[in-house]
Amino acid sequence: MRKFKYLVILVGFAFIVQCTRTSKKIDKNVSEHSIDFGKITKTKVSEIISDYSFIHLETTVESLIGTINQIEISNNKIYILDNSKSNGLYVFSITGKFINKLTYKGNGPGEFISPYSFYIDKKGYLLLYDIQLSRLLKYDLNSLKFIEEVKMPFRSPKSFFVLPDDDLYLYYGDKGNRDFKEKNILIVSDNKGTIRKKFLKTMPSENIFHGSETNFYSFSGNTYFYPYFSNKIYLVTKDSIQCKYEMFFGDSEIVDQDLFLKSKSSVETFNEIMRSSKDWIRLLYVYENEKYLVVKYYIKKDFYTGIYNKESRKVINFKQSDVLDDIGIGGKFPLPIGVNGNQFIAQINLFDINKKSLKIESLRKYVETSREDSNPILMLYSIKNNLGNKQ
């Protein structure tokens, strides 16, 4: 029994070492956890997506959205968080009709100043994180009526999530703490703010507050987490954390941690990243469903997308501006902003559309009758089954 226990420990240690290596040399036949998206290729929209549809979000004075910072679809309702000028959470029907919103600006019970991210749980509640007031607020999902404030273990986390089966909360980082030495970036807590577990030591890059507001996601009943300025995705439970994927992007690399030690300020760091001759990846967003892992990322000021076919283990990696719009959606590839089952959710802004390239009749008619400041159009699409290895 003791020998078996030691064997399990050794296997677990080997798994962790594999996921924390930094070498770019990959044997794809050995490691299921390493993904090399490879070189940038040129492609067409029709070669990537299929089964697409559009949702025209109703535009009224009450429902006007500035920016979609987070989007979730639950029980045939669309929940959109806008933490820009509109500063609230908006609810639409699956056909785009405006239903309700949360815009309680203030510091009283149930009110907020800077809504940053939200989570919808299985019990019919919506949790909203106010990053300025460091509040985690719970509302009834249907009525949006305020219920209570959830106590957090410390002020100013960078993001949060919920382990639904255990009624526990995950908190990432502390944006108010500039001392990264011997600190943990992932905390498991209960609803009273009691810390149950700590994972992962901080890196120098944790001093920079730059990345997805929702760098947690749920897939197939599991919870995943990806830190800022990292090429790793972790599987998280209440008791453990494991590296699920380690990603590489051809000749491009995640910003070197040494840069964060040398720079004296966030501004200086970003200037160095943008001016560097290296194609550093500075921002990552991850989306996953049954068949695909999709990674959206920035190099300098350009958007790129890496897609990994989990069944065939094939990949494609492309720059948004290099994709030919041969189906006529307005000129640009629809970058994902969310997941709905086996489909990805994208946003088409009216001010971005090249009207001359519109070929889809329903989309063209809507654009012609809308203003540039109307609410964006949502596009739901699947990724083609045979996608990958377009090198």
Give pLDDT tens digits for 23-47: 344 333 334 589 999 999 999 999 9
**Position 150 confidence tier, pLDDT thresholds 50, 70, 90:** very high
- State the pLDDT at residue 198: 95
CATH class of 32-383: mainly beta
**Position 21 confidence tier, pLDDT thresholds 50, 70, 90:** very low
- State the pLDDT at residue 91: 98
- State the pLDDT at residue 205: 87
Which carries the bigger pLDDT value, residue 297 or residue 389? 297
Pair of tokens at residue 247: 């990603």
Percent of the chain with pLDDT over 90: 68
- State the pLDDT at residue 32: 53
- Nearest Cα residue to 231 out of 295, 161, 186: 295
Percent of the chain with pLDDT over 70: 88
Using alpha carbons, list the distances in angstroms from residue 367 to 62, 94, 321, 351, 359. Answer: 21, 19, 21, 10, 12
Using alpha carbons, list the distances in angstroms from residue 28 to 58, 226, 364. Answer: 47, 21, 44
pLDDT (mean) for 145-165: 94
**Position 389 confidence tier, pLDDT thresholds 50, 70, 90:** low
**3-state secondary structure (DSSP) of residue 73:** strand
pLDDT in tens, 320-342: 999 999 999 999 999 999 999 99
Average pLDDT, the chain: 88
**Position 181 confidence tier, pLDDT thresholds 50, 70, 90:** low
Domain residue extents for the chain: 32-383
- State the pLDDT at residue 237: 96
At residue 280, what are phi and psi to the nearest 5 degrees? -80, 140
pLDDT in tens, 47-62: 999 999 999 999 999 9
pLDDT in tens, 237-255: 999 999 999 999 988 999 9
